[in-house]
Amino acid sequence: MSKITHHIPEEMLRAYAAGTLPQPFAVVIAAHVSLCDACRAAVEAESVLGGALLSELSPATVSEGARDRLFAALDSAPPAPPQQRGSGIFPAPVMEALSGQPPRWKMLGGGIRQQILSADGEGSLRLLYIPRGRAVPEHSHGGLELTLVLQGSFSDCEGQFGVGDVEVAHDDVDHQPMAGDAEPCICLAATDAPLRFRAMIPRLLQPLFRI
């Protein structure tokens, strides 16, 4: 793997460690953390700090009845599912989102493909396949977009992104990512608002492709 040079911002790592991020962004960060020693260490440090802060809080009094109900619920809870392992270029959090199956790509045009992994009020999570040397349509954002490279690379006005790198694109970023020439680029992308395409055809097709 090439050296990771584009990391998750500190405030997002802190929110991830606290469990307050929307699910699509949490999956992207979990996948990045599984590939990046520096961000994994930062998340672990945040978790330790959070635990230390909790230990300083005054203990709350719990009634005997509440304790008994909690233990009864734990006894009756189904066992946790086995943790998913990574496969090929896909880290474990991505394989979990894929339910352990290979991607089921749908064509978007020009050889570009996607699989939507989740889409709800919190945002959307998708895999993107971009043929080598191919660019996605130019667009800006109505919110936040996190894009993690799993295979190959892409470049845009913000720089060059290789395997493990994450691009953090806010609503002030207008770009046209282009896959590198060496191999197709496969990315995991999370958004909390629809993209804003400049060209007419992508705008017309946007409701169909749910981008």
Tokens of 200: 């007419």
Q: Is 81 helix (H, G, I), strand (E, B) or coil?
A: coil
> For the chain, what percent of residues have pLDDT higher than 90?
64
Q: Dihedral (C-alpha) 202, 208, 210, 211: value to the nearest 10 degrees?
A: -10
pLDDT attached to residue 154: 98
Residue 102 · residue 158 · CB < 8 Å: no
Q: Over the stretch 86-119, which tens digit does the pLDDT of each residue have?
A: 779 999 999 999 999 999 999 998 899 999 999 9
Is the model's pLDDT at 202 over the cut of 80?
A: no
CATH topology of domain 1-211: Jelly Rolls (2.60.120)
Give domain limits for the chain.
1-211
Q: Over the stretch 112-142, which tens digit does the pLDDT of each residue have?
A: 999 999 999 889 999 999 999 999 989 888 8
* Share of the chain residues as helix, strand and coil, in percent rounded to the nearest 5: 35, 25, 40
Query: Judging by DSSP bridges, how do beta strands 139-141 and 195-197 pair with one another?
Result: antiparallel
Query: Got the DSSP string for 156-193?
Result: ETTEEE-TT-EEEE-TT--B--EE-SSS-EEEEEEESS
